[in-house]
Amino acid sequence: MYNAALEIIAVTPQGREELAFSYAKPSDWQSVEIPHEEPNFEDPKYFLPVAVATALYGIGVFSVGVRPAFDDGTVREWLEWLCGEDQIQIEDLREVSVGPMRGYIFDARQKVGVGTMVMRNLYVEDGGRLFAVCAMAAEQIFASMQYILAEMTESFRLAHAEGPTAALAPIETPAPPVDHDRQDNGAGAASPTPLNPGNAGHRTVAAASLDAQLQIPSGWRLLDDGRRALVFQPDADAHIHMDRRARDGATDAEILDAIQQSYERQFSGIESLRLELGGCQALAFRSFEIDAEPVEQVFLVRPTPQARQVMVTRVTSPDGGMADVLDAAAIMLTGVDFGLSRAA
């Protein structure tokens, strides 16, 4: 079993005193100098790296990253979405208090190249900032290093903690009853519920990335970084990704052609089907896996008030669960209000 003396070191990242922190570093680990870079927080997955250390021969890596907290949602929703985007499998998620901060510690796995990295992660929010602390090693040696890696992660302390500004987890509410009498519309999805601005089963949210307002069902959440919108259900694997993109002279069918060709290159044996849903051209995929889990996806292309742009919606659900998720997407697409859009 790997064992080494730990020493508490203080870090003031790139001269940013407000981000100063400390952690326990093994005596035989080497701190890595981080080159200066301009942060790209428009990318919702981007974290500014503020500390990196490596074990002898690079068999272990420790890192700390920080980004502004998202405008909507909770710490748990953020970390689940971020890990999902990078195909990081979360294990043993649990709440933790780190001084005045509150957040989550969890083990995780991520396939990289021909191997798998196993990690001990800590996500905490403080003063409107989200910190991601990660200590990892290759799967083959993780067992021998796990205790050192856990101590490194759990030793993280901010020098100037301000306290949390975001909720730790969503408030659980009873799920609405399922209407088993809904009729299938022939495309694998139940007929959309008629929109009603006063319907208590939906709420209106502004999506800056779409320059629009959406009607989203109760119990669903929105994350929007100004470039794309992600609507999802907490504690569920289904989600709806929406973005506006340049048409570049392509028709709706040609946009779907490019998506289909890309998927067929990535996933051997994937099945696809062209269809029309709610007046939108659509492309459905099945018989493929993401992070070893069988999933289904449907892409829909919708025009926008700007002739040179389209809105592309990607609906993802576990295998066999697409009908209900596509139903929610239909509500959003038929109820989208581009009143916030700028003139073409």
- 203 pLDDT band, cuts 50/70/90, is confident
Q: Rounded CA gap, 338 and 214, in Å? A: 9
Rounded average pLDDT over 70-87? 90
Q: What is the pLDDT, as a whole number, of residue 10?
A: 92
Q: Two tokens at 152?
A: 């490194």
pLDDT higher than threshold 90 for residue 332: no
pLDDT 10s digits, 148-192 = 898 899 899 999 888 888 888 876 444 333 333 333 333 333 222
Q: What is the pLDDT, as a whole number, of residue 58?
A: 59
pLDDT 10s digits, 4-25 = 678 899 999 877 888 999 999 9
E-strand stretches of the chain? 6-11, 21-26, 30-31, 48-54, 60-68, 88-98, 101-112, 115-126, 129-138, 157-158, 202-207, 212-217, 221-224, 229-232, 239-246, 271-277, 280-290, 293-303, 309-318
Q: Rounded CA gap, 311 and 210, in Å? A: 8
Burial 274-311 (b: 16+ CB within 10 A, else e): eeebbebbbbbbbebeeeeeebbbbbbbbebebeebbb
Q: What is the pLDDT, as a whole number, of residue 197?
A: 35
Rounded average pLDDT over 252-263? 90
Q: What is the pLDDT, as a whole number, of residue 35?
A: 85
Q: What is the pLDDT, as a whole number, of residue 311?
A: 93
Q: What distances in angstroms separate CA 86 from CA 64, 89, 97, 130, 302, one per listed residue?
A: 17, 9, 26, 17, 27
- 200 pLDDT band, cuts 50/70/90, is very low
Largest CA distance in the chain: 65
Q: How far is CA 9 from the centre of its chain?
A: 31
Q: What is the pLDDT, as a whole number, of residue 112?
A: 82
Q: What is the pLDDT, as a whole number, of residue 171?
A: 61
Q: How far is CA 100 from the centre of its chain?
A: 26
Q: Rounded CA gap, 86 and 150, in Å? A: 22
Q: Do residues 315 and 235 touch, judged by C-beta distance below 8 A?
A: no
- 1 pLDDT band, cuts 50/70/90, is low
Rounded average pLDDT over 97-106? 84
Q: Rounded CA gap, 9 and 202, in Å? A: 50
pLDDT higher than threshold 50 for residue 194: no
User: For the ranges 131-140, 189-198, 246-255, which has the lowest average pLDDT?
Assistant: 189-198
Neighbours of 312 (CB within 10 A): 19
- 343 pLDDT band, cuts 50/70/90, is very low
pLDDT 10s digits, 113-138 = 768 899 999 999 998 999 999 999 98
3-state secondary structure 71-109: CCCCHHHHHHHHHHHCCEEEEEEEEEEECCEEEEEEEEE
- The pTM of this model reads 0.53
pLDDT higher than threshold 60 for residue 140: yes
